[in-house]
Chain A
Amino acid sequence: MQEDIIFQILEGHQDTIGEAIYKARRDYQIETLTIIANYRCEKPVFSGWNMRYIRPGGHTTPAHLERIKTELEPHLKTDQPAATALFHTIFTPSPAIVTAPAETLPAATREVTADAVDTGTDTERLHTHLLSIRAWPKASQVKLSSQVMKACALMSKGKISYQELFRHCLWRSEAELTEFLSQLNHIGVLVFAPMEAAASSSEATETEPVQTSSGDRFGALMRKFLTNTRLRVS
């Protein structure tokens, strides 16, 4: 444990681990869950280790931490900045290992679930943060209309502002979009991120018109096909 971070290593059959992760993700006491390494091993690596309390500053602490760090480091999810940053937050970084600037490390863990943002009303938060989703809503939770599909597709690809969502997803009214986002918030899949990054994008120089590509033509024809087919089916 370090401050409000709990670090845990699970060893076992993948189905058992999957079940444990599933339960942990539903635990209301856990704000975010990040998997920093996930790999297969033929025999238990930490066999013989029991739960123990390692006192900060205790004389055995560095050796324990070093062993865990040495074991996990080669398996880090290097393609996930958040996982790498969290790893280095947990283990005192060695200058030889940390390649990212230190000031960037906490940023990746700054994303919080909607519930954890305690400033402003829900509607204000929607306008003052970038939005993304940690999972698509289940079919039993939200009806997958065209707007919902577009909005979820955008928020699953990256962080996007409320205004951009409204612009791209063809909502009939802001009230509809706000209600939908509140629903995602209630389900617990909506993720808020600070808006600073958006400032740099709005300051970006004039945007070039998007070139008409084969992808655009394909997309336009697919949209036409879907619209016509929907009309026929209904």
Chain B
Amino acid sequence: MNKIYKKLAIVGEVGAGKTQLINTISEISPFATEARSSVDIGKEFTTVGIDYGRLSLDEDTALGLYGLPGQRRFSLLWETVRQGLWGLLILVKYGDGLNLEDLEHILRFYQPHSNGLPVVVGISHTEDATGDELEVLVDYIEFTLAAHNLVAPILPVDPRDVESSIMLLELFHSLDSAGDIFQQPEFVEVGVADAS
């Protein structure tokens, strides 16, 4: 039987919770490239490269979990996971102000719409957010996604929480399955291409 290996890219800014999320989902101890932070970012260690975790679905099938820094200067790292992507999870840290430029760069780089790549946006650290504040943030992200022809789920996540993390995988699974359904011959004539 052929081995199947797919990748989930988890891209986000410093402190968004990439390492924690991988820690929660991965069956192996994540290979983290953490270093002591030289500036005050609210925690002692931060990721300076790729975090890696894995989820084996059977002995021949696995999902690789790749935590990648969200800043544009790390786009060389983004390139390393581009092939075989199952999904793109963008983690946004609530409270630091949304960096639309980074979000733009990530979307321009991966071009999810053209590549049929499922996207989910998770907002972390929302414990102290009011409903209104969160709604405005979601609207901003929604607007940015719409500019890239994307209609994607945007939801609060708690990377420490198993249920919350599993829900992200379930969303990707739903989006992936939906893509497969629309590729079936009965749907081809409907003109899925102009869903925008």
Interface residue ranges, A against B (CB under 8 Å): 14-15, 18, 21-22, 25, 35, 38, 79-82, 108, 130, 132-136, 138-140, 144, 146, 149-150, 152-154, 156-160, 168, 197-198, 200-201, 204, 207-208, 210, 214-219, 221-226, 229-230, 233
| Residue from B144, B147, B195 within 8 A of A158 (CB atoms) | B195
The answer to whether A150 and B135 touch across the interface, beta carbons within 8 angstroms, is no
Contact A208/B138 with A158-B190, A222-B173 known, Cβ cut-off 8 Å: no
Residues of B within 8 A of A208 (CB): 185
The answer to whether A221 and B61 touch across the interface, beta carbons within 8 angstroms, is yes
Contact A201/B194 with A22-B140, A150-B178 known, Cβ cut-off 8 Å: no
The answer to whether A153 and B57 touch across the interface, beta carbons within 8 angstroms, is no
- Whether a CB of chain A sits under 8 angstroms from the CB of B40 is no
User: Which 6 A-B residue pairings sit nearest by Cβ, starting from the closest?
Assistant: A221-B57, A158-B192, A153-B178, A153-B174, A156-B151, A158-B195
Chain B 163-196 against A: per-residue CB contact (8 Å), 1 yes, 0 no? 1001101110111111111101111111110111
Contact A152/B61 with A82-B194, A158-B195, A204-B189 known, Cβ cut-off 8 Å: no
Q: Choose, from B28-36, B42-50, B88-96, B154-162, the stretch at the interface.
A: B154-162
- Whether a CB of chain A sits under 8 angstroms from the CB of B2 is yes
From residue B85, how far is it (CB to closest CB) to chain A in Å?
A: 13
Chain B residues within 8 Å of chain A by Cβ, number? 61
Contact A140/B135 with A130-B190, A219-B176, A221-B58 known, Cβ cut-off 8 Å: yes
The answer to whether A201 and B187 touch across the interface, beta carbons within 8 angstroms, is yes
Q: Which one of B4, B143, B163 has the highest number of Cβ atoms from chain A below 10 Å of its Cβ?
A: B143
Residues of B within 8 A of A35 (CB): 146-147
| Residue from B2, B176, B185, B196 within 8 A of A204 (CB atoms) | B185
From residue A13, how far is it (CB to closest CB) to chain B in Å?
A: 10
Q: With the chains together, A80 CA to B55 CA distance in Å?
A: 37
Interface residue ranges, B against A (CB under 8 Å): 2, 4, 6, 55, 57-58, 61, 63, 86, 100-101, 113-114, 131, 134-136, 138-140, 142-144, 146-147, 149, 151-156, 162-163, 166-167, 169-171, 173-182, 184-192, 194-196
Residues of B within 8 A of A218 (CB): 4, 6, 57, 61, 86
Q: With the chains together, A154 CA to B136 CA distance in Å?
A: 25
The answer to whether A214 and B4 touch across the interface, beta carbons within 8 angstroms, is yes
Q: With the chains together, A14 CA to B146 CA distance in Å?
A: 14
The answer to whether A158 and B182 touch across the interface, beta carbons within 8 angstroms, is yes
Sample 17 A-B pairs with CB under 8 A, ordered by A number: A15-B100, A81-B196, A150-B174, A153-B174, A154-B181, A154-B182, A157-B175, A157-B181, A201-B186, A204-B189, A207-B185, A208-B185, A215-B176, A225-B55, A226-B166, A226-B173, A229-B166
Q: With the chains together, A168 CA to B187 CA distance in Å?
A: 13
From residue A62, how far is it (CB to closest CB) to chain B in Å?
A: 30
Contact A230/B192 with A38-B147, A157-B182 known, Cβ cut-off 8 Å: no
- Please give me the residue from chain B that is nearest to A139 by CB atom: B155
Q: With the chains together, A25 CA to B57 CA distance in Å?
A: 42
| Residue from A149, A157, A223 within 8 A of B195 (CB atoms) | A157
From residue A136, how far is it (CB to closest CB) to chain B in Å?
A: 4
Q: With the chains together, A138 CA to B136 CA distance in Å?
A: 11
| Residue from A18, A79, A223 within 8 A of B149 (CB atoms) | A79
Q: With the chains together, A85 CA to B70 CA distance in Å?
A: 35
Residues of B within 8 A of A210 (CB): 180, 184
From residue A102, how far is it (CB to closest CB) to chain B in Å?
A: 17
The answer to whether A226 and B194 touch across the interface, beta carbons within 8 angstroms, is no
Residues of B within 8 A of A154 (CB): 178, 181-182
